[in-house]
Structure 1
């Protein structure tokens, strides 16, 4: 039986937000503006990288730009791991969200500076800031509910709608400014959005009660000094590696992308191994972590395909979509708003669906549905690419249909995965587990960035059909093993 009493860290529920704790509104709006900045910049990043120097771009090959894009996304989510650790052991989730938002805003302001180096410097700051903000704001949402409350998935779906409200508005603004006026002006608009997010978070802090106020497992005394020393040494080593690569003439975009891809996979394997062998977690928690490994693989496979919307599909939109409407050629990046608006429409419907179904449909089955739908979207994309063979421009409705199928898959997997992570997490690794969930996106995007290189050398219909079919087959396999995975989840549905 689920208790109606407030969960730990949950403020008194006197005022509600669509039937949920009022604090959800503050977190909803903060994430909305953070996603405005993230998706606004992301919508024009690959287009800027591949634009010619005469068009004020960097003139990269499509394959290199796709890899950079995938690696950037991967690093954004990889940094969620140390971001979760900082919250758990040092300053708490609430302060991490605040400082993360400030660093993200600074990164976008740097990207607004009209020089070549500013883009990569700004991306570095955004990566660091998002690592602090992203996992911890989701953990704070989880703190508003009891661990096994049936309202939990519905709450995360509403929170997810806030993410996509920002994602819908952003490309319309940054895309127009970037493609029609100046790329760096588009990046500047993203900076202003994140600034609004920080201001809103500070003003709405009174609604949060003590959610995220204190570290879950704080480091004290000598342990704290030792951890900070190790972190400092890691930073020095990273700087020395970069310097050595530069001296050796190996500090190129492709070298950095390849090294970061390998590092992402190795860190993932190491982190799972560390949790599974930790003697301080119970046998039940260890069993749940084994189930989580499978969910992680499914999620990484999902994002490998899904997040190519901003790279491979964005370039397809620029080169192969007929964007002429009433004498106006709309920016290719505007099509990046289709996905989030469909999620805004679909999120409440899926929230109601999961609430009605309760525990009758298990988490592994929801993941399987997401994988199958994601694969079918690429199968449809193969048909669109075939229609464009020979240089013909095709209707934008092809991409709208592709995004619609992907959205149904995303709503079956992503908000459910956020919720499952907070329920399956060992107590000791509460915030860090949310970082581990985002690491699934990092692995998917890192490998996906390398896979996306093939889109330049393979025939596009073959590329899309190959990876679409692979996702469908993986989803069907997930259905077959759903019962075993649910058994490992040890009472968590």
Structure 2
């Protein structure tokens, strides 16, 4: 079939569906707004109120604590966001409503009163929860099962994420640090408006993905009512959930700090998610789907470990860059926020190179499974903290550390991320039960959020143990964890039942039938 006779949603550009590039630019502007906010948040919180560009004057530990809770909630809300899409809206409308909420949230942050600050953060949490898991699910839906282009498509999509991040850290970071924090927050809102406009323009290229669930789809019941009904029928499941809830209340009464009851809410949430996960396992109809589901749950653990280390970038490493790094270059003081842009810049440079390396390795019959990539990525990222150990040692000796350690650390973090994160996104779309696709993507982002919270807890402890001990501990743990996954690789691959075998590139003509059938089904 010639390109001229293809419908808009069947057309390809540079070997991929045009819809991929619509989602690429939508996500690019959404990530511009999010990472612009992320680049400024901890620095705004710790900046003295007497400064030329005053912040809130919080302690380092207080700012990292809020950073951990905020970045966790942003991703944890992906679970209800995925459920709402699966049950009611479909991914396409969920992304639209999420974008609208994000525009409002970032816009409110442009105002200075504290009510605006907390309201804006709350709206961003809700908006990202609707948008993030569902736009990623739509990317996976553009490709037929077994299409080797899927991993490459997610890598291209990942470039969009990081192009937005790169632009945000340079533009929003500079505006926020040098002109005014709230001007930077407002600029992030304008970027999100651009993303919304791109998404609305590109709807004709997304006809076959993310549509409203059918009545058959809605029969998949993951409501809290059915959850508790199933738990009452399964004593083991009920005991597990009740034990977690019991510990949640213990945390509220016994933990020190103003966020003790925040942990109570978190543990109750984890208990409910655990109940949902057990319920889904029981409802799966075949042993193959159950085995794949177990591997999927393990991949979420890898995600938590990865992001628990990686997300020091926006918290502990951001403050370290601001306060303990010599950032002078040719007499000019480089803004601290710009160093967070190194990650995004390196991703843009290396994303297709890393994806191409793994694709060629797989075609040659060498080990290139998603779990292997994620384990290797975790170890490479962890080794990046070796350079932060050198930085901490230099600071302890001289009172400041050189910029080169940050550059090298971000380079290793980036290579590790490219081996792990886009692969994890693609892996979920391969293993997740179809009727729970958005929910599983939501759980993935919730795992990312829990990793962010772990990063916050680790960063807070630096005030007690010191950066040298924290960076050393992260390095040792991530390398050992990655090696453990590799040791367990063979039995884990058996449980996937060949989900990644026989992948190949699928043409437009082959894709047409599945797209039309999918469109009619929705």
TM superposition shift of 1:267: 4.3
Structure 2 residue aligned with 1:240: none
TM superposition shift of 1:116: 2.0
Alpha-carbon spacing, 1:36–1:193, altered in 2? closer, same or farther (3 Å): same
- Answer yes or no: is the 8 Å Cα contact 1:90–1:219 preserved in 2: no
Distance 1:226 1:39 in 2: 33
TM superposition shift of 1:42: 0.1
The runs of at least 4 aligned residues of structure 1 exceeding 4 Å deviation read 10-14, 216-221, 223-227
- Answer yes or no: is the 8 Å Cα contact 1:17–1:24 preserved in 2: no
Distance 1:121 1:467 in 2: 34
- Answer yes or no: is the 8 Å Cα contact 2:44–2:55 preserved in 1: yes
State how many pairs are aligned. 464
Distance 1:436 1:217 in 2: 24
- Answer yes or no: is the 8 Å Cα contact 2:42–2:64 preserved in 1: yes
Superposed CA RMSD in Å reads 2.6
Q: Does 1:19 align with 2:26?
A: no
Distance 1:478 1:219 in 2: 35
Q: Name the stretch that deviates more: 265-274 or 138-147.
A: 265-274
TM superposition shift of 1:325: 2.3
| Matched residue SS, 1:477 | helix
Structure 2 residue aligned with 1:113: 111
Q: Alignment partner for residue 355 of structure 1, among 347, 355, 359?
A: 359
Alpha-carbon spacing, 1:357–1:331, altered in 2? closer, same or farther (3 Å): same
Distance 1:396 1:337 in 2: 14
Alpha-carbon spacing, 1:190–1:213, altered in 2? closer, same or farther (3 Å): same
- Answer yes or no: is the 8 Å Cα contact 1:320–1:391 preserved in 2: no
Aligned ranges 1:84-163 → 2 under 5 Å: 84-163=82-161
Q: Alignment partner for residue 395 of structure 1, among 380, 390, 402?
A: 402
Distance 2:485 2:222 in 1: 42
- Answer yes or no: is the 8 Å Cα contact 1:370–1:411 preserved in 2: yes
Distance 1:224 1:139 in 2: 18
Cα distance per residue 1:55-114 (max 9 Å; x no partner)? 321222111211211111111111111111111110110000011011011111111111
Q: Does 1:439 align with 2:439?
A: no
Alpha-carbon spacing, 1:145–1:53, altered in 2? closer, same or farther (3 Å): same
Cα distance per residue 1:310-351 (max 9 Å; x no partner)? 000000100111112233212100111000010011111122
Distance 1:226 1:255 in 2: 25
Q: Does 1:341 align with 2:345?
A: yes
Distance 1:52 1:205 in 2: 46
Alpha-carbon spacing, 1:216–1:482, altered in 2? closer, same or farther (3 Å): farther
- Answer yes or no: is the 8 Å Cα contact 1:29–1:200 preserved in 2: yes
Aligned ranges 1:283-322 → 2 under 5 Å: 283-322=287-326
TM superposition shift of 1:270: 3.0
Alpha-carbon spacing, 1:333–1:261, altered in 2? closer, same or farther (3 Å): farther
Structure 1 stretches lacking a partner, 5+ long: 231-247
Q: TM-score, normalised by structure 2?
A: 0.84
Alpha-carbon spacing, 1:264–1:412, altered in 2? closer, same or farther (3 Å): farther
TM superposition shift of 1:264: 5.1
Q: TM-score, normalised by structure 1?
A: 0.89
TM superposition shift of 1:490: 1.4
- Answer yes or no: is the 8 Å Cα contact 1:111–1:188 preserved in 2: yes
TM superposition shift of 1:17: 2.8
Structure 2 residue aligned with 1:30: 26
Distance 1:306 1:114 in 2: 31
